[in-house]
Structure 1
Amino acid sequence: MLATVLGKAVLLAGLLSVVGAGPALAVINGEVSRDRDGLRASVVRIESTRGEICSGTLIGPDLVLTAAHCVMHRAGYSVVAVDRNFRQQRILAIAASMHPDFVPGTTPEDQPGIDLALIKLERPLGADFQPLDPRGSAIATGEAVDIAGFGVVAENRRGTAGTLRSAQLVSIGSLEVANRVTMVTDRRRLAETTGSGACLGDSGGPILRGGRGGYQVVGVVSWSSGAMRQNARARTACGGFTAVTPTGEHAGWIAARSAELARIQPGDVMPAGRGNRSDWMAKPGRR
């Protein structure tokens, strides 16, 4: 059956206009993360002054890995992290660097470049938080992975965003649309009908290998599409296929750009280095 669904995934580009696709703007059918030592220590929420929400992963005390389309707009951005007592901490984002191949202004599913970005925080997060290693190797077809994010539980339930949820998915292989992504889906439904997957607010969140105390980031959520069989009157872009940018293929850029961003301080000039011409730094005092 996995091979059958993989074959269907190859046809996804033609199906997008039928089943619907869009940015993974919650992990639907996911479990709420309530473990003090679990994913709340590593997965964060990204909010903009435009009212947009994404997810991201700490890869350093003051560095967050996310999707480039989450930070491509000229806006103010902040990161919300949850401490061991499940209290929220809001930290200003002072800079963001998108992969040099990313093309701002495109939709995620039409993106010809690499949908990855790094956010530099105003200050480091403390001992309550645990950065993860983003240099995970390729996701094998058939491999079980976890998804985590702060999005909604259904497209029509916007008020459910802001709670960290996770679910286990399975990789069904790579797909070439405008760029190359890895497709993951509910391991029981296999995108035939709506199951677990990304939804609004999960863009930029991690795809993870391992478990508590040993998680490794192997991908970043870029976009999602609905299941192949849906009610025509209630179409959704969630709970079918989740498109993932694999981090292992871009580990060199992540490491090099992280090192460059780690050296900057509020008020500095953005280092040219290995960034994108649309990279930005917040103006002093901007919240």
Structure 2
Amino acid sequence: MKSRAFAFLLAAGLVMGASPAVAVIGGMASQDVRGARASTLRVETSRGELCSGAVIAPELVLTAAHCLMGGGSVSVVSLDPRFRTRRHAVIAVLPHPTFVPGTTPRTQPGADLAMLRLSAPLPSDLEPVTLGGGLWQGETVTMAGFGLSVEDNKKTARRLRETKLVNAGNYTTQNTVKVAVDIEARGEKPGAGACRGDSGGPVLRGDVRSRDLVGIVSWSSGPLNTRARRICGGFTAITPVSEYRSWISEAAAQLLAMGPNPRPFAQPEPPPPAGYSWWFSR
């Protein structure tokens, strides 16, 4: 942060109100066929949970682990080149072993990451992202997601949006995340950022056509200087992928080793404890 005072205010603001991120506030609808559309998916559960995800391989999607804790089956939705929706079955889910179900994103002691294995490769018009290096303070990034564009209006979700943010530095409670803010508002007043439904969405280095994945959206918090209690439009918490490269590689290998024709499956009830994985079966 630019000053100790601002760092203190940032911490105070995040403690006062943080939520799983669910939609891009202050962003713009994605219209570039080769942009966020090509690497960002909508993640949905049969229990009504809405999140986003990043395509990292034709059959693999990286998302936030907390999105999957409500139970039910999981599927993903992609957009074709004309921005029409296509649904794809998920056959396996593998959260990071340090993730602890039942904790809030802000107090999560482990990594808020999970990998999804699809039943079949995604269409060829989708382009997987590659894992990028570490984020440096002051760097401009692009985030994308299917969350709300108006915090208190659920009807504004499920449309792909994107926005540019600047990495303001680290925020540490039980774990350490990167915190990104609106380039002009800087988290002090309402600006662009993640909201409900954006959790799990990609954070890309540079512009929206980049395939350099540097983070996954975890949670959001409202701006510091507002009378209304907000959970969006202030700070966007990002799980940096550079710190979890080994797990991502190992998880990908484990899920792909299932073979080309695994049987569909249903999540056990209740959600399993930390270190779990599950496969869907008839």
3-state SS in 2 of match to 1:239 = coil
Contact 1:13 / 1:177 at 8 angstroms: preserved in 2?
Answer: no
- Once residues 217 and 208 of structure 2 are traced to their aligned partners in structure 1, the CA distance between those partners, rounded to angstroms, is 20
Please name the residue that 2:2 is paired with. 3
* Matched residue SS, 1:254: helix
**Counterpart for residue 278 of structure 1:** 276
TM-score (norm 1): 0.90
Hey, what's the Cα distance between the residues in 1 that align with 2:231 and 2:202? Answer: 19
Name which of 111, 116, 123 aligns with 1:114: 111
The code of the aligned residue for 1:283 comes to S
In the other structure, the counterpart of 1:256 is 250
- For structure 1, the residue ranges without an aligned partner over 5 or more in a row are 270-274
Q: Measure, in 1, the Cα distance between the counterparts of 2:111 and 2:208.
A: 29
Alignment partner of 2:82 out of 85, 91, 94: 85
What does residue 269 of structure 2 align with?
none
2:25–2:151 Cα contact (<8 Å) kept? no
In the TM superposition, residue 74 of structure 1 has moved relative to its aligned partner by 2.5
Match of 2:233 among 217, 235, 239: 239
Aligned residue for 2:223? 227
- The Cα offsets for residues 215-258 of structure 1, whole Å up to 9 and x where unpaired, read as 21100111111000112xx3110011111100001011101111
1:76 to 2:73 alignment = yes
Deviation at 1:212, TM superposition (A): 5.3
Aligned pair partner of 1:199 in 186, 195, 201 = 195
Residues 27 and 197 in structure 1, CA contact (< 8 A), matched pair in contact too: yes
Aligned mates of 1:7, 1:172 — CA distance in 2: 14
2:206 and 2:224 mapped to 1: Cα distance?
A: 29
Aligned residues of 2:222 and 2:229 also touching (Cα < 8 A): yes
Q: TM-score, normalised by structure 2?
A: 0.92
Deviation of residue 10 (structure 1)? 4.9
Q: How many corresponding residue pairs?
A: 273
> Is 2:20 the counterpart of 1:26?
no
Given residue 184 of structure 1, which amino acid in structure 2 is its aligned partner? A
1:276 and 1:62 map into 2 onto residues whose CA distance is 24
Q: Is the 8 A contact 1:72 1:278 kept in 2?
A: no
Paired with 2:208 and 2:185, the residues of 1 have a C-alpha distance of 26
| Alignment of 1:154 onto 2:185 | no
Post-superposition offset of 1:259: 1.3
Q: Contact 1:208–1:218 at 8 Å: present in 2 too?
A: yes
The match for 2:32 among 22, 25, 35 is: 35
